[in-house]
């Protein structure tokens, strides 16, 4: 059966309408699929079959601009209609093309396009009639900014491509479509600036996308896992963003953006660690504010990874490194706590992420209740019951806040795992273990690559770059795109 299907798909159309229709009926399982529509009409004496999927295609477009146009088309005498004639004289839809291959027609029809099969012609006319319900462009949910554009990507690929076009109104913007997945093909689009992006990078992205040999690829999350340089690494080497303005800014820096149907966000490659610490606000704010916020974020990241490990190393092994008054406070607070500090930290970390995960899944209406239960009741009760020391709650709270300051969600989760690694090292060997953990982490980061570019560049190794890395200097000093761009010309037209 599968072989028969494959043969049908690989074949081309024949000039007999009934044969073509029966072939599509088989391929679309029309005997059981009630939404596969085959509408027979006559146009100037030639029989046509309009093929579409109900719900995916816009009924109004089909009836007004295809069916009515065909039926009402009159010629002085009956004539043989072919695809070219139909496109030129009859149908009133802007985007159309002739197609012979059955597999291509089938792929287009299931995504909402309409095929018009013509009796006596071995070509079908494919018409753009996609009109399925989709979410309107709305505010971003995970990457909120105070200043700047508020709209985010949606599930419709077409809308997302339009958003990119709006933000980068340039004839060099290329939107290249790639079909991904062997069994259920997914539409994926690469977006880049033809004269800015390095062709080697574009080729690498294209090659990796085409090299995905999975049967099905569920959205960009799966695409990301298939094309990353090091899938075993803890931190992502491809940036995810739901903000078209951020994606557009990366495109202008010479990076490649990948969009996909049903994915309300974009992938950006290549990237460095520093991209994951930047937020859109930085660009919209004055450089002093942008720099300040970015430094806060970097400190937040360092606190998030290292603070609990350092706390455990100092309080468990190197008490002499703490000022006496602080040591006294800690000892007093922990006097009645029955657990070692490691257990105490793990309980708090686990509770924190339990509340976090529950908060993500819980219906919005009862979200505030979770905050009350988590923060107030549990925290207060744990301290009163001497399960947790108050100082540890402060440590874990600051750590959590540091983690939330990181704009990239995946990067934040990766850092949590790094933090647990540092905690384990510190718990085992104190400051010696802490240093070993941090050292391994730094070498691992330096060994990572994103599409062949070092992850820690332009710091390690040094690369020419804009003064927009850890601190953000004034906009007029930023003269060049990222170092991985092919074109070294600034947004102001000066040579960098």
Partner 1 sequence: MIVLKLNISRIASIPAAFVGATIRIFLDLALDGGTIHNGAWIAALLSALPSIPYLLCLDAVQSDKRMAIPLRFMLLSVTALDAAHVLSICVRAAGCLTLDYVPAHFLALPLALAVLWCVWRNGDAVGYAAILWIRVFPVLLLLVVTLQMRHYNARWLLPLLGNGFPDIIRSGVRASGWFIPATAIYYVTDRSGDKSGRRPLSAWLSFAPAVAALLLILRLMMAPAGLYGLTWEARLDALLTNGRAPLYLQLPMMLVFFFSAFHLLTCECFAASALLQRLAPALDGRLCAAVVTVACTGLSLSGFTVTAVDFIAPWLYVAVAATAALSSLLQGAPKGGERPCNG
- Provide the binding-site residues for partner 1, judged by CB under 8 A: 314, 317-318, 320-323, 425, 428-433, 435-436, 438-440, 442-444, 446-447, 454, 456, 459-462
C-beta of 134 vs 469, nearer to partner 1: 469
C-beta of 302 vs 343, nearer to partner 1: 302
What is the C-alpha R_g of the chain?
29
C-beta of 115 vs 482, nearer to partner 1: 482
Q: How far apart are CA 95 and CA 491, in angstroms?
A: 34
From the CB of 317, what's the least distance to partner 1, in Å? 5
From the CB of 309, what's the least distance to partner 1, in Å? 12
Q: How far apart are CA 469 and CA 351, in angstroms?
A: 35
Closest CA to 386 of 327, 332, 424, 427: 332
From the CB of 284, what's the least distance to partner 1, in Å? 29
Contact criterion met (CB below 8 Å) for 289 and 261: no
C-beta of 147 vs 321, nearer to partner 1: 321
Consecutive H or E run containing 360: helix 341-361
Contact criterion met (CB below 8 Å) for 136 and 151: no
Q: How far apart are CA 193 and CA 437, in angstroms?
A: 41
From the CB of 127, what's the least distance to partner 1, in Å? 53
Q: How far apart are CA 358 and CA 464, in angstroms?
A: 44
From the CB of 412, what's the least distance to partner 1, in Å? 21
C-beta of 174 vs 436, nearer to partner 1: 436
C-beta of 461 vs 493, nearer to partner 1: 461
Residues paired with residue 40 on neighbouring β-strands, in sequence order: 49
C-beta of 94 vs 324, nearer to partner 1: 324
C-beta of 409 vs 432, nearer to partner 1: 432
Q: How far apart are CA 246 and CA 243, in angstroms?
A: 5
C-beta of 165 vs 463, nearer to partner 1: 463
C-beta of 264 vs 430, nearer to partner 1: 430
From the CB of 239, what's the least distance to partner 1, in Å? 20
From the CB of 427, what's the least distance to partner 1, in Å? 12
**DSSP per-residue string spanning 252-264:** HTT-EEEEETT-S
C-beta of 387 vs 445, nearer to partner 1: 445
Strand order in the sheet with 186-193: 173-180, 186-193, 256-260, 266-269, 239-241
From the CB of 312, what's the least distance to partner 1, in Å? 13
Closest CA to 86 of 103, 73, 77: 73
What is the pairing mode between strands 96-99 and 114-118? Answer: unpaired
Residues 6 or more apart in contact with residue 175 via CB below 8 angstroms: 161, 164, 165, 189, 190, 191
Closest CA to 135 of 165, 169, 175, 163: 163
Residues 6 or more apart in contact with residue 428 via CB below 8 angstroms: none
Strand residue runs (E) in 150-209: 173-180, 186-193
Q: How far apart are CA 422 and CA 306, in angstroms?
A: 7
CB half-sphere exposure, 75, CA atoms < 13 A: 15
User: ω into residue 227 within 30 of 0, thus cis?
Assistant: no
From the CB of 115, what's the least distance to partner 1, in Å? 50
From the CB of 224, what's the least distance to partner 1, in Å? 22
From the CB of 459, what's the least distance to partner 1, in Å? 6
């Amino acid at each position: 059966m599968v072989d028969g299907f494959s043969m049908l798909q690989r074949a081309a159309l024949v000039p007999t309408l009934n044969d073509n229709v029966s072939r599509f009926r088989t391929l679309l399982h029309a005997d059981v699929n009630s939404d596969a529509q085959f509408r027979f009409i006559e146009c100037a004496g030639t029989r046509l079959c309009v093929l579409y999927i109900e719900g995916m295609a816009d009924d109004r477009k089909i009836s007004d601009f295809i069916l009515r146009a065909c039926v009402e088309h009159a010629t002085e005498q009956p004539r043989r209609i072919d695809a070219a004639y139909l496109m030129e004289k009859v149908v009133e839809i802007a985007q159309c093309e002739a197609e012979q291959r059955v597999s291509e027609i089938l792929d287009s029809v299931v995504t909402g396009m309409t095929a018009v099969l013509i009796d006596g012609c071995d070509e079908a006319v494919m018409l753009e009639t996609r009109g399925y319900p989709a979410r309107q462009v709305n505010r971003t949910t995970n990457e909120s900014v105070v200043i700047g554009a508020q709209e985010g990507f949606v599930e419709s690929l077409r809308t997302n491509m339009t958003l990119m076009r709006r933000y980068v109104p340039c004839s060099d913007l290329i939107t290249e479509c790639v079909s991904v997945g062997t069994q259920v093909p997914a539409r994926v689009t690469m977006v880049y600036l033809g004269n800015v992006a390095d062709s080697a990078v574009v080729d690498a992205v294209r090659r990796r996308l085409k090299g995905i040999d999975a049967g099905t690829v569920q959205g960009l999350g799966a695409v990301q896992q298939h094309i990353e340089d090091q899938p075993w690494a803890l931190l992502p080497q491809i940036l995810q963003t739901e903000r078209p303005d951020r994606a557009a800014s990366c495109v202008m820096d010479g990076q490649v953006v990948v969009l996909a149907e049903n994915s309300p966000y974009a992938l950006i490659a290549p990237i460095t660690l520093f991209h994951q610490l930047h937020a859109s606000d930085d660009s919209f704010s004055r450089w002093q504010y942008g720099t300040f916020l970015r430094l806060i974020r970097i400190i937040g990241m360092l606190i998030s990874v290292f603070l609990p490990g350092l706390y455990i190393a100092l309080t468990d092994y190197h008490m002499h490194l703490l000022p006496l008054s602080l040591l006294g406070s800690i000892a007093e607070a922990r006097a009645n706590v029955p657990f070692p500090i490691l257990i105490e930290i793990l309980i708090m970390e686990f509770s924190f992420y339990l509340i976090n995960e529950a908060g993500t899944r819980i219906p919005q209406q009862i979200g505030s209740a979770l905050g009350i239960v988590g923060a107030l009741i549990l925290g207060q009760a744990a301290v009163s019951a001497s399960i947790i020391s108050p100082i540890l709650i402060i440590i874990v709270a600051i750590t959590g806040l540091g983690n939330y300051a990181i704009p990239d969600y995946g990067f934040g989760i990766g850092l949590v795992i790094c933090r647990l690694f540092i905690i384990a090292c510190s718990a085992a060997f104190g400051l010696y273990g802490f240093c070993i953990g941090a050292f391994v982490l730094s070498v691992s980061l330096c060994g990572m690559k994103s599409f062949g570019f070092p992850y820690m560049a332009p710091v390690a190794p040094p690369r020419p770059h804009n003064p927009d890395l850890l601190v953000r200097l004034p906009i007029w000093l930023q003269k060049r795109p990222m170092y991985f761009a092919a074109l070294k010309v600034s947004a102001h037209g000066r040579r960098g």
